[in-house]
């Protein structure tokens, strides 16, 4: 007999419509073994602090109704992890899993609505989304290299793209960050002037390969102008506009070295 029952006193609602069939029986056994009282139905009116509703996805049609009524929502992976680790079920909102339990995440370069979604995902995996840079942050998610915290985090913290977070969500674990590193030209639009034609083609190819956009024409959307000499119409216009960084081919080469 199990010595401790961390779910004792909890009322867990499990509907076959909300839990995938491949994990239903395993989950049912784990919840029973850990002392919870089980109700094989969905009852949104049960929204007390000891009431928990198992739901596999926030995309399910029942999710918003349960959330609006203030129900404690947990994913199957969350319940299984709690059972395995002998810990109580988490209260408040929706916890899909414990993949980011104890982790602190910083997001930079995103719009407000994007940050709201990121925060929901991080919290749903047991993590914390910080509002400012901190020495104890574990991961920094940036939209591109123009993000305000990108330079601060580079060489200090793991810096990843948003699809890293999505993959963690999909797999219910912290996936390796290597495939999700930010390309050095991500978010940049690069133009050139006074550069030989063969080198222009190479720069165009490499800019695209490393996440950037090449522009044959200098427009106000350009972020960088590669100039071999401090002369020419593009150079003068870039200086006049002021927001375009004028760099050399050495900068370009070092960025992808």
Return the CATH number at 23: 3.40.50.10190
Report if residue 244 sits inside a domain: yes
Report if residue 3 sits inside a domain: no
In the predicted model, is pLDDT for residue 1 greater than 60? no
**Helix, strand or coil, per DSSP, at residue 251:** helix
46 and 116, same structural domain? Answer: no
214 and 250, same structural domain? Answer: yes
In the predicted model, is pLDDT for residue 4 greater than 90? no
- pLDDT for 228 equals 86
Percent over 90 (pLDDT), the chain:
96
- pLDDT for 3 equals 60
Report if residue 29 sits inside a domain: yes
72 and 54, same structural domain? Answer: yes
Find the mean pLDDT for residues 193-213: 95
Report if residue 157 sits inside a domain: yes
Q: Write out pLDDT tens, residues 132-177.
A: 999 999 999 999 999 999 999 998 999 999 999 999 999 999 999 9
202 and 157, same structural domain? Answer: no
197 and 154, same structural domain? Answer: no
- Given 150, 180, 210, which residue is the final one in a domain? 180
Cα separations in angstroms, 196 against 113, 226, 241, 256: 43, 12, 24, 20
Report if residue 6 sits inside a domain: no
91 and 152, same structural domain? Answer: no
Which of 195, 206, 194 lies closest to 256 in space, CA to CA?
206
125 and 89, same structural domain? Answer: no
Report if residue 123 sits inside a domain: yes
How many independent structural domains does the chain possess?
3
Under 8 Å CB-to-CB from 159, ≥6 apart: which residues?
140, 141, 142, 150, 153, 181, 182
**Average pLDDT of the chain, as a whole number:** 95
- Exposed/middle/buried for residue 208 (C-beta within 10 Å: 0-12, 13-18, 19+): middle
Report if residue 5 sits inside a domain: no
Cα separation, 91 vs 241, whole angstroms = 53
In the predicted model, is pLDDT for residue 91 greater than 80? yes
Neighbours of 37 (CB within 10 A): 14
144 and 74, same structural domain? Answer: no
- Given 128, 148, 180, which residue is the final one in a domain? 180
Least confident residue range of 46-50, 118-122, 193-197, 246-250: 193-197
172 and 196, same structural domain? Answer: no
Q: Write out pLDDT tens, residues 10-68.
A: 999 999 999 999 999 999 999 999 999 999 999 999 999 999 999 999 999 999 999 99
Residue 200 belongs to domain spanning:
189-255
């Amino acid at each position: 007999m199990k010595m401790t029952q961390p779910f004792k006193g909890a009322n867990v609602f499990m509907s076959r419509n909300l839990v995938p069939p491949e994990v239903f029986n395993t989950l049912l056994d784990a919840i029973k073994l850990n002392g919870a009282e089980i109700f094989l139905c969905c009852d949104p009116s049960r929204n007390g602090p000891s009431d928990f509703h198992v739901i596999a996805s926030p995309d399910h049609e029942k999710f918003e109704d349960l959330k609006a009524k203030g129900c404690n929502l947990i994913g199957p992976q969350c319940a299984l992890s709690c059972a395995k680790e002998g810990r109580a079920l988490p209260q408040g909102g929706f916890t899909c899993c414990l993949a980011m339990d104890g982790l602190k995440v910083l997001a930079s370069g995103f719009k407000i609505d994007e940050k709201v979604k990121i925060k929901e995902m991080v919290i749903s995996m047991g993590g914390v989304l910080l509002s400012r840079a901190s020495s104890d942050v574990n991961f920094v998610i940036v939209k591109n290299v123009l993000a305000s915290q990108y330079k601060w985090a580079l060489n200090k913290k793991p810096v990843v793209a948003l699809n890293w977070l999505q993959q963690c969500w999909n797999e219910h674990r912290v996936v390796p960050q290597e495939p999700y590193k930010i390309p050095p030209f991500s978010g940049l639009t690069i133009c050139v002037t006074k550069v030989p034609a063969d080198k222009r083609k190479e720069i165009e190819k490499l800019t695209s390969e490393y996440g950037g956009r090449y522009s044959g024409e200098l427009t106000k959307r350009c972020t960088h102008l590669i100039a071999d000499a401090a002369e020419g119409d593009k150079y003068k216009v870039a200086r006049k506009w002021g927001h375009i960084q004028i760099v050399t081919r050495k900068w370009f080469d070092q960025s992808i070295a």
